[in-house]
């Protein structure tokens, strides 16, 4: 069974109810592109469809068939249904455009599939498969561009990127993911419309950055963003010399962001990550990875230095090592000595919990809750790094001696 035959069978139930309602239905989106590339599409859980039926009509048509409806996208003409373990998003043909100062489209419906396809980002995504006959609808030569490895827009790049500037960032992802060569006009327009990018929300930018960094080799996409001036808008400290290092790093966007920012001062990269709406949890992980990598260069092979590095790197020690490899050719030798220290210290590294709590410190030192409790805990933590594990009585004795000198 071919991929196309499989898709025609999978969509047969939905196709039939639209045909019976005298409405057209087409497969669209990445599944069409992947089908033409010969990729396995049988595992696709989500399938995108477009129709000349209006949203209210779509709901009426699918109601007898759908296990449940998904309606958050209704105001944009999209009705989602769950059926046989799949999610189908069915969207009325659209002909929307964007105001120059708006992040959201002005939704206008169309009855023409070609007009709908003309509003899509790139020709390789501006194709449809007519249901039920399986005919390819390709008014902008997307199949040809796929075969030739070209990245073009259905309309002029000026019009396409003005409509949705995020498409400029998406261009970098497609270049990296599908090894496409961007049309010269596309590149020039990206450089010309850099200022238009200001209307794009940080959340959408972050989503595309993550997708770009999941590509096997994102270097060419990053280079395009640098050459056109887009990269400086959200990661200005990242320079092309860092691009080459992420190729051999696992395609995890958090780890690769850490690699790109590894030579950037913490204050600067913290500011960039917050501006891009990275979650607090991701920022902490990135910070641990970068700082752990930096400390590896300090050769923490002594017991106290290694304990401190091990504790502060959290669960990201291997990741820190991978980033450190991009910073110095001496890292493998340093790491070998660090491993010797790890083996020597053994099980003590599994438990850095202090034997006394903050409440116990307040009782012992007769102090109230406040900053001094934190200072005392930090002192004990440093003693743990310096001396190794110690007992409750040892901790109390050290605290009393420290307090006598510092109260």
Q: What is the pLDDT of residues 117-159, one digit of tens each?
A: 999 999 999 999 999 999 999 999 999 999 999 999 999 999 9
Q: Give domain status of residue 202, yes or no.
A: yes
Q: Which of 94, 110, 142 is the last residue of a domain?
A: 142
Residues 6+ apart with CB under 8 A from 174: 122, 124, 151, 180, 221
pLDDT of residue 98: 58
Judgement on whether residues 123 and 30 belong to the same structural domain of the protein: yes
In angstroms, the Cα distances linking 214 to 92, 207, 219, 256 are 31, 11, 11, 9
Label residue 23 by pLDDT band (50, 70, 90): very high
Judgement on whether residues 225 and 114 belong to the same structural domain of the protein: no
Query: According to the per-residue pLDDT averaged within each range, which of 45-49, 95-99, 265-269, 402-406 is highest?
Result: 265-269
Within a 10 A sphere around the Cβ of 272, how many other Cβ atoms?
17
Judgement on whether residues 118 and 13 belong to the same structural domain of the protein: yes
Name the maximum alpha-carbon separation found in the chain. Answer: 88
Q: Give domain status of residue 397, yes or no.
A: yes
Q: Which stretch of 40-44, 243-247, 330-334 has the lowest confidence by average pLDDT? A: 40-44
pLDDT of residue 41: 85
Average pLDDT over residues 5-13: 91
Judgement on whether residues 117 and 204 belong to the same structural domain of the protein: no
Model confidence at 294: pLDDT above 60: yes
Residues 176 and 208: their CA atoms lie apart, in Å, by 12
**For the whole prediction, is pTM greater than 0.75?**
yes
Q: Which stretch of 36-50, 136-150, 365-379 has the lowest confidence by average pLDDT? A: 36-50
Judgement on whether residues 177 and 227 belong to the same structural domain of the protein: yes
Return the exposure string of 194-207: e unless at least 16 CB atoms fall within 10 Å of the residue's CB, then b.
eebbebbeeebbbe
pLDDT of residue 182: 97
Average pLDDT over residues 156-181: 95
Label residue 102 by pLDDT band (50, 70, 90): low
Q: Give domain status of residue 247, yes or no.
A: no
Judgement on whether residues 121 and 220 belong to the same structural domain of the protein: no
Give the domain extent around 400: 358-406
Pairing of β 46-51 and β 86-92: parallel
Judgement on whether residues 68 and 135 belong to the same structural domain of the protein: yes
Extract the tokens encoding 360. Answer: 């116990």
Average pLDDT over residues 201-212: 96
- % of the chain with per-residue pLDDT over 70: 97
Label residue 101 by pLDDT band (50, 70, 90): low
Q: Give domain status of residue 396, yes or no.
A: yes
Average pLDDT over residues 371-379: 94
Extract the tokens encoding 345. Answer: 């210290």
- % of the chain with per-residue pLDDT over 90: 84
Average pLDDT over residues 364-385: 94
Average pLDDT over residues 17-24: 96
Label residue 247 by pLDDT band (50, 70, 90): confident
Extract the tokens encoding 84. Answer: 């046989």
pLDDT of residue 290: 97
Q: Give domain status of residue 387, yes or no.
A: yes
Judgement on whether residues 48 and 113 belong to the same structural domain of the protein: yes
Residues 6+ apart with CB under 8 A from 32: 125, 127, 128, 129, 136
- Transcribe 88-122 into DSSP letters: EEEEE-B--EE-TT-SSEE--B-S-HHHHHHTSS-
Q: Which of 350, 369, 390 is the last residue of a domain?
A: 350
The chain-wide mean pLDDT, for the chain, equals 93
Label residue 96 by pLDDT band (50, 70, 90): low
Name 136's bridge partners.
Answer: 129
Q: Give domain status of residue 369, yes or no.
A: yes
Q: Give domain status of residue 257, yes or no.
A: no
Label residue 40 by pLDDT band (50, 70, 90): confident
Q: Give domain status of residue 239, yes or no.
A: no
Judgement on whether residues 132 and 60 belong to the same structural domain of the protein: yes
Label residue 42 by pLDDT band (50, 70, 90): confident
Judgement on whether residues 61 and 89 belong to the same structural domain of the protein: yes
Within a 10 A sphere around the Cβ of 279, how many other Cβ atoms?
10
Judgement on whether residues 85 and 193 belong to the same structural domain of the protein: no
Domain count, the chain: 4
Judgement on whether residues 25 and 95 belong to the same structural domain of the protein: yes
Are the beta carbons of 301 and 342 closer than 8 angstroms?
Answer: no
């Amino acid at each position: 069974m071919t991929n196309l035959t499989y898709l025609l069978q999978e969509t047969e139930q939905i196709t039939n109810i639209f045909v019976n309602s005298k409405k057209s239905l087409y497969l669209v989106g990445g599944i069409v592109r992947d089908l033409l590339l010969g990729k396995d599409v049988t595992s696709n859980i989500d399938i995108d469809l477009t129709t000349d039926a209006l949203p209210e009509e779509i709901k009426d048509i699918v109601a007898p068939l759908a296990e449940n409806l998904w309606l958050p996208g209704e105001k944009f003409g999209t009705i989602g249904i769950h059926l046989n373990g799949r999610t189908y998003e069915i969207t009325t043909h659209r002909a929307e455009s964007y105001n120059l100062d708006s992040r959201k489209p002005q939704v206008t419906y169309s009855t023409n599939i070609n007009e709908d396809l003309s509003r899509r980002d790139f020709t390789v995504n501006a194709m449809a498969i007519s249901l039920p006959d399986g005919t390819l609808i390709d008014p902008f030569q997307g199949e040809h561009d796929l075969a030739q490895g070209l990245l073009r827009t259905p309309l002029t790049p000026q019009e396409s990127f003005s409509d949705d500037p995020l498409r400029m960032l998406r261009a970098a992802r497609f270049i990296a993911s599908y090894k496409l060569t961007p049309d010269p006009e596309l590149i020039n327009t990206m450089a010309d419309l850099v200022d238009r990018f200001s209307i794009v929300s940080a959340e959408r930018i972050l989503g595309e950055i993550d997708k770009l960094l999941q590509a096997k080799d994102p270097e060419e996409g990053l280079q395009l963003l640098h050459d056109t001036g887009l990269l400086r808008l959200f990661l200005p400290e990242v320079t092309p010399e860092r691009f080459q290092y992420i190729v051999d790093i696992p395609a995890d966007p958090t780890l690769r962001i850490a690699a790109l920012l590894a030579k950037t001062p913490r204050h600067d990269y913290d500011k960039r990550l917050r501006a891009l709406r990275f979650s607090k949890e991701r920022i902490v992980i990135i910070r641990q990875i970068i700082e752990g990598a930096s400390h590896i260069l300090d050769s923490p092979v002594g017991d106290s230095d290694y304990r401190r590095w091990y504790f502060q790197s959290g669960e990201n020690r291997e990741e820190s090592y991978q980033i450190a490899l991009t910073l110095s050719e001496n890292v493998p030798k340093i790491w070998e000595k660090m491993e010797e220290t790890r083996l020597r210290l053994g099980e003590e590294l599994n438990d850095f919990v202090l034997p006394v709590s903050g409440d116990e410190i307040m009782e012992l030192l007769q102090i109230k809750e406040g900053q001094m409790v934190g200072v005392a805990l930090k002192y004990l933590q440093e003693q743990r790094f310096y001396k190794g594990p110690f007992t409750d009585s040892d901790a109390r004795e050290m605290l009393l001696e420290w307090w006598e000198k510092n109260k």
